[in-house]
Structure 1
Amino acid sequence: MGPTQPTQSSPTTGNSRFNLTESNIWPDSTAYPSRAHLEQLYSELQSLSSTILSLLATSLNKPSDFFTSYLTDSLSTLRLLHYPPSPPTDTTTQTYTKAATPPPEPSDAIKVSCTPHTDSGILTLLHQDSTGGLEVQDSSGKWVAAPYVPESIVVNIGDLMAMVSGGRFVATMHRVRAPTLPASPKANRKGVVGEEDEDDSAPKFGRFSVPFFFEPGERCLVQS
């Protein structure tokens, strides 16, 4: 979903044909009753982004309101993502080497649901479940797991923030490993084979995450 009240026209032409956003289209409330919750989450994450941006501006020796113009008519998006699990023998999932350079060597290949990339915007705020799979690349090129931490949010730096900061902040290169179903039924903590523990069902359904991509508004003047 995008802004709940998108801008109606281009600031330079006044022509609605140049709109970069449009109103969100929702399913019927009887089929999907969570609209109000998502709109509230969008608003709260927008506010959290504002706070983080103020702190980042201060760390760059800039006024705390340096990013205020980025918040005006923001084009941020909130998404609900699902990465389905793949069978252990599934060969349809794209594979890459640890260096993210195809073609892979058989002994070093991994399955990925989302190939290595950086986000284009300012910040990405991510809620994720306990399934795991998100990995970030450090300065040496090594992939490091970004584990699930209860009641926390993963913050990724985007390409635009890297540019605005003059390279002081580095865009987060990241990928998502494909969730994989176990090769054979396993025993739970009670020793029962094929019966899962209550807190061990995530791999069965895959990975779920809720990213908020903070993007500046179309009126924003980007400067470093």
Structure 2
Amino acid sequence: MSATTTMAVEEPRYEFYYRENTWDNKRQVLTGSRCIDTFSEIPLVDISRIFSPKLEERKAVAQAITNVCQRVGFMYISNHGISQELVDKVFAMSAAFHAQLKEIKQECYTHNNKELRGWNEHSVNTPRGPVHGPRLKVRVAKKGSFLYSYEPDNDPVPPQLTAEQRAMCLGTYNQWPTKPDGFKETMLRYQRELLTLSRKLMQSIALGLGCEETYFDTHVTAPFVSIILQHYLPMHPDAEDPNSLGAHTDYETFTILNQDATGGLEVLNKNGIYIPAPYIPNTFVVNMGDFLERITNDKVVSTVHRVRNVSGRQRYSIPFFFSFNMDSDMGVIPSCASETNPAKYGPRNLFEFTKEMRARQKRKYTTGEKHGIDAN
């Protein structure tokens, strides 16, 4: 009788992430011979030429940006035109705000606000008590955040808006703290300068996709913008959820992230491997969002990412979420569709989409339901 050899079959492993308001998304982790060609680091793009008066130079950097958008969906940008003086001041203001007593920060608590602008605290179940023996699970703060949005009167190119369009601008509901001194003025200056940068990036993306440079201009006159001052506390090693911010994609057009030197941002590649995106001085991290992926017919990739602050130190970051006007119905860009690759998606606008998201967030807060990712 011959011996029978039984080969162990390795169970597939998956990384799960949050997208389109559900955790029912996963990517298989590929190893060995199953690995595919994908990125192993985040590229850096010098974008100084997006400000060039020469179209040829603007086209060259547009192509470099678009190549990264299609292959990685994440990049560092340098020579972006935002002064380090302003960046340092914004971080200092953020640290001063978050250092205040909770009772003071609660004066602008998000759930007292119709559109959820303001300050909020996020917590996680963490064991407490002796290592050997019963341990209680208690809710421990893992992150504080202050959220503010686009204010049309602060725009360097003030838009002409109807009353209905102005009401769609969530920044008209911003809650501003009284302390620290100069907080509101600093944050609005930061918003103005990043609005200008974001519009230039949109023109560059349009060029890279084979459109006229001004293709998106009329759709970003009063854009959907949210800015969050994030304060991550060091994570307890026994916390139920080790993520400071769970794996997710951003739903907007793109995000410009300003991060400190603490580290913790990780980006998921196509092999299901998380690639670190550490701090690089004088750069921003830019990642593409679901909405841009959609209107490019999936040419541009909205890449999964997460934050794990295992440094033992506090971490500060400032994501600037940028997208189109709330009432702009955006379909697939003509240059991204063809007879052999027809448009996969119909027109969609952000107003109804974000309204539904905030309503769900309100319901979850009211019912005490656990949720992983914050709506913006």
Q: Please, what TM-score do these two structures have when normalized by structure 1?
A: 0.73
Q: Who is 1:131 aligned against?
A: 262
Whole-angstrom distance in 1 between the partners of 2:328 and 2:277: 32
1:118-146 deviation per Cα after TM superposition (whole angstroms, max 9, x unaligned): 00000100000011000001122211000
Question: Could you tell me how far apart the structure 2 residues matched to 1:42 and 1:143 are?
Answer: 30
Equivalent position of 2:228 in the other structure? 79
Percent identical among aligned pairs is: 29
TM-score normalised by length of structure 2: 0.44
Deviates more, 1:121-130 or 1:41-50: 41-50
2:188: which partner in 1? 39
State the aligned residue count: 177
Question: How far did 1:154 drift?
Answer: 0.2
In the other structure, the counterpart of 2:310 is: 179
Asked if the contact 1:72–1:220 (Cα under 8 Å) also holds between the matched residues in 2, the reply is: no
In structure 2, list runs of 5 or more residues that go unmatched. 1-147, 154-160, 333-376
- The separation in 2 between residues aligned to 1:81 and 1:10, in whole angstroms, is 31
Aligned to 1:48, which of 197, 205, 227? 197
Equivalence for 1:9: 163
| Alignment partners' CA distance in 2, 1:43 and 1:115 | 29
Does structure 2 conserve the Cα–Cα contact (< 8 Å) formed by 1:72 and 1:219? no
Structure (1 or 2) with the greater helix fraction: 2
Q: Secondary structure at the match of 1:81?
A: strand
- Letter matched to residue 126 of structure 1: L
Counterpart of 1:65 in structure 2 is: 214
Q: Tell me, which stretches of 5 or more residues in structure 1 are unaligned?
A: 95-110, 182-202
Change (3 A) 1:62 1:77: same
Contact map agreement 2:151 2:169 (CA 8 A) in 1: no
* CA offset digits 1:96-153 (Å, max 9, x no partner): xxxxxxxxxxxxxxx2111110000001000000110000011222110001000100
Contact 2:252 2:322 in 1 (8 A): yes
Counterpart amino acid of 1:146?
Answer: A
Distance in 2 between residues matched to 1:142 and 1:83, nearest whole Å: 23
Match of 2:317 in 1: 209
The 5 Å alignment of 1:65-214 reads: 65-87=214-236, 90-94=237-241, 111-181=242-312, 203=313, 206-214=314-322
* Whole-Å separation in 2 of the counterparts to 1:69 and 1:137: 33
Task: Evaluate the alpha carbon distance shift between residue 86 and residue 220 of structure 1 in structure 2; reply closer, same or farther with a 3 A threshold.
Answer: same
Structure 2 CA distance for aligned equivalents of residues 91 and 8 of structure 1? 52
